[in-house]
């Protein structure tokens, strides 16, 4: 806490706004937009690397959050006052940092993929800035950030190193099943803790959203690899932009429509996020493939 206190004492309006901006690169929506853009328009294999790094590390982070149930810094120490606006996205338990996990999964995947030194430096800087922003803003402790970084970078590196083996056709079902199984374990474990009175339902909700997204990604991976065989390449850049925008509208349309029709409950959250992932990885690519054949 002493490190957070030190940062709190040297805050300025400029750096407050700067790190509030930097922390947005660790937002779930930003990473998902990059993932969708890569998958639909740029490089499907790279998108799969990012998807597995993002979803697998996210499931483990949620697992650790509900296991350790560490309160936020300002709850543990009343002298810690977060920067105005930082609390908005600082929900759930503190340990480990979700924003650090997301930014590390995204930028480390790009870092391991590229051979350009400039991009390697940029990705490294972005990982540092997002992690440090969580400390500067007063919403995480150094332990939260460091553990999240180490966990995610290990998963991301492992996926990058073994990806070609995992991507082999003979392993499609095993990889898909493993993704779904890990998601189900997280959902089941969170319900167990809820029934034991150890966590509240809002924390279970985060786990069900992560589990639903993981299940949708696992099923979508199997369907796309075995039946759809989507080709993301297109020479017409305008059509690529249209494809990206329409796809994102579909993702958020599903989220909004299902929220209005099903409401908010654990099963509804799981189904909604599952369908959003399934749309991105399988349903929308299948639709694009069908339309492109007809035109």
Name the average pLDDT for the chain.
Answer: 94
Q: What is the 3-state secondary structure (H, E, C) of 80-125?
A: CCCCCCCHHHCCCCCCCCHHHHHHHHHHHHHHHHCCCHHHHHHHHH
pLDDT tens across 191-234, in order? 999 999 999 998 999 999 999 999 999 999 999 999 999 999 98
Overall number of domains in the chain: 2
Domain boundary, last residue among 119, 138, 167: 167
Share of the chain above pLDDT 90, in %: 89
| Domain match, 195 and 101 both | no
| Domain match, 52 and 145 both | yes
pLDDT tens across 95-153, in order? 999 999 999 999 999 999 998 999 999 999 999 999 999 999 999 999 999 999 999 99
Q: Look at residues 31, 8, 149, 30 and name the one whose alpha carbon lies nearest to residue 86.
A: 8
Q: Determine the pLDDT at residue 60.
A: 97
Domain boundary, last residue among 118, 137, 167: 167
| Domain match, 35 and 135 both | yes
Q: Determine the pLDDT at residue 235.
A: 86
Domain boundary, last residue among 103, 134, 167: 167
- The yes-or-no verdict on residue 295 having pLDDT over 70 is no
Check residue 279 and report its DSSP letter.
I
| Domain match, 12 and 156 both | yes
pTM of the model: 0.94
């Amino acid at each position: 806490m002493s490190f957070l206190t030190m940062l709190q004492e040297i805050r300025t309006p400029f750096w407050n706004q700067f790190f509030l901006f930097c922390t947005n690169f660790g937002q779930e929506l930003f990473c998902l937009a990059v993932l969708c853009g890569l998958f639909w328009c740029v490089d499907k294999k790279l998108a799969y690397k990012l998807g597995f790094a993002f979803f697998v590390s996210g499931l483990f982070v949620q697992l650790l959050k509900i296991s350790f149930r560490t309160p936020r810094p300002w709850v543990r120490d009343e002298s810690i006052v977060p920067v105005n606006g930082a609390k908005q996205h600082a929900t759930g338990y503190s340990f480990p940092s979700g924003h650090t996990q997301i930014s590390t999964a995204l930028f480390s995947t790009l870092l391991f993929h590229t051979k350009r030194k400039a991009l390697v430096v940029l990705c490294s800087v972005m990982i540092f800035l997002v992690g440090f922003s969580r400390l500067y803003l007063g919403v995480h402790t150094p332990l939260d950030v460091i553990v999240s970084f180490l966990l995610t970078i290990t998963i991301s590196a492992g996926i990058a190193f073994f990806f070609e083996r995992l991507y082999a056709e003979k392993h499609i079902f095993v990889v898909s099943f493993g993704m779904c199984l890990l998601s189900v374990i997280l959902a089941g474990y969170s319900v167990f803790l809820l029934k034991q009175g150890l966590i509240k339902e809002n924390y279970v909700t985060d786990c069900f959203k992560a589990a639903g997204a993981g299940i949708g990604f696992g099923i979508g991976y199997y369907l796309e690899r075995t039946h759809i065989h989507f080709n993301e390449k297109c020479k017409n850049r305008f059509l690529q932009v249209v494809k990206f925008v329409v796809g994102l509208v579909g993702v958020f349309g599903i989220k909004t429509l299902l929220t209005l029709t099903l409401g908010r409950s654990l099963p509804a959250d799981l189904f909604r996020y599952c369908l959003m992932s399934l749309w991105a990885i399988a349903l929308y690519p299948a639709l694009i493939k069908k339309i492109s054949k007809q035109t």
